[in-house]
Amino acid sequence: MAKSKSTQDAKKDKPEAESADKKHTDTMRAEANDDVTDVKPEAEANESPLESMQNELSAERDKYLRLAAEYDNYRKRSTKEREMIYSDARTDAISKLLPVYDNLERALKMECADEAFYKGVEMIMTQLTEALNAMGVREIPAVGEPFDPNRHNAVMTIENPELGDNIIAEEYQKGFILGDRVIRFSTVVVAN
């Protein structure tokens, strides 16, 4: 009986051994399959963070470029606004001096018995004209020039065969420009 027990035990152990071998083989195959499947996700996982980082970098670079462009536009706009405010202030100050210029010009056209007084008014007019020129203010040419509605204000038209069409015949009040900006339009009479 001892032999039959050992044969039976061997037969019983044999399926257990085969089963253990089979489990070991299955485990090895599963691990091998896991290694193969793990390789693909790792490659995909490595590409995915790289792509996401590149996308994030691209998005941040885009934000930076937009911010830099906005700042540049702001800086240009601020500079332009400052220049406009300065130009407006200059134009306003000069326009307040023009009535003084007009009065001095009228005084010089009047006859005066006192030569010293006339000479004094003439010197003041010269000084004011030099100051205006130093600031960049120029007179708008009028008499004999073609009429330009962007620089001249026509208050009357006359028939004059000696002058051509739309030529300025007379100037009532001088006009002035600062750069390209008209401070005061010339008041003129135009020949037709």
Across-strand partners of 190?
A: 157, 168
Average pLDDT over all residues of the chain? 81
pLDDT band at 41 (very low <50, low <70, confident <90, very high): very low
Pairing relationship of beta strands 186-191 and 167-173 according to DSSP bridges: antiparallel
Which architecture characterizes domain 138-192 according to CATH? Roll (2.30)
The pLDDT of residue 25 is: 54
116: pLDDT strictly greater than 50: yes
The pLDDT of residue 35 is: 47
13: pLDDT strictly greater than 70: no
CATH for the stretch 2-135: 3.90.20.20
Query: 142, 177 in Cβ contact below 8 A?
Result: no
Pairing relationship of beta strands 186-191 and 152-158 according to DSSP bridges: parallel
For residues 64 and 31, the model is more confident at 64
130: pLDDT strictly greater than 80: yes
Q: Look up the pTM and report it.
A: 0.58
99: pLDDT strictly greater than 90: yes
> Phi, psi at residue 110, to the nearest 5°?
-85, 150
Q: Per-domain residue ranges for the chain?
A: 2-135, 138-192
Lowest mean pLDDT among 64-78, 114-128, 154-168, 169-183: 154-168
> What percentage of the chain reaches a pLDDT higher than 90?
46
Residues 6+ apart with CB under 8 A from 189: 154, 155, 156, 157, 158, 168, 169, 170, 171, 172
For residue 148, how far is the Cα from the chain centroid? 32
The pLDDT of residue 27 is: 55
The pLDDT of residue 144 is: 87
